[in-house]
Structure 1
Amino acid sequence: MTQRKDYLATNAGKRAPMPGFVLLVRARADDDPTMRIGLTVSKKVGNAVVRNRMKRRLRALTREILPEAGQPGADHVLIGRNGGIERPYGELRTELTKALAKVRR
């Protein structure tokens, strides 16, 4: 996702807060089955190097997990949190799986 209005619209969807990130999911009203992904890491998390590292980790998570566990035809936004950069990658993977299951319910 590239437009701010899409991020703001996703904010009205379902939310699953986790220790390393917050997952927002909103089903789109169109008939397009593609999943769109957005990543956000604010300056509160750290300087540019830390934010970019966090974005790379979140991008790797989405590539690994979303194709089979994500919702088709929905927008998924991951918002990085302060503790996310120190968390082991395996924990982030299990948290994303839990968050997707929570949003599905």
Structure 2
Amino acid sequence: MPTPGFVLLVRKRDDGDDALRVGFTVTKKIGNAVVRNRMKRRFRKLARELVPADGMPGTDFVMIGRSGGIERDYGLLRQDLAKALDKARR
């Protein structure tokens, strides 16, 4: 599910494990190492806040950073992730 700050990939696992797994990736196109790491830190914080409550058991989530994500307000990123998780549940 693409948003202005990231793309969320969701894949249901059929391995009997109910753990939620989250991965993050930000390419060099986005910026230097400092910028990429800052974006990943924001993604990790978002995931800790929203995925345990809104995610689905036994699912893998991957957040792929987009160029607009680093300038995007944290509150808007949070809303984007909440909408994407809601859409994934349907």
Given the alignment of the two structures, is residue 100 of structure 1 paired with residue 85 of structure 2, yes or no? yes
Number of residues paired by the alignment?
90
Given the alignment of the two structures, is residue 88 of structure 1 paired with residue 65 of structure 2, yes or no? no
> TM-score, length-normalised on structure 1?
0.84
Instruction: Describe the superposition over 1:19-63 as per-residue Cα deviations: whole angstroms up to 9, x where unpaired.
Output: 000000000011100001100000010000000000000000000
State the AA in 1 paired with 2:42.
Answer: R
Distance in 2 (alpha carbons) for counterparts of 1:71 and 1:104: 7
Where structure 2 has 5 or more consecutive residues not aligned to the other structure, the ranges are none
User: Where does structure 1 differ by over 3 angstroms across 4 or more consecutive aligned residues?
Assistant: none
Tell me the residue number matched to 2:18: 33
State the AA in 2 paired with 1:42.
Answer: T
Given the alignment of the two structures, is residue 23 of structure 1 paired with residue 11 of structure 2, yes or no? no
| Alignment RMSD (CA, Å) | 0.6
Where structure 1 has 5 or more consecutive residues not aligned to the other structure, the ranges are 1-15
Tell me the residue number matched to 1:67: 52
Query: 1 or 2 for the larger relative contact order (CA 8 Å, sep ≥6)?
Result: 2
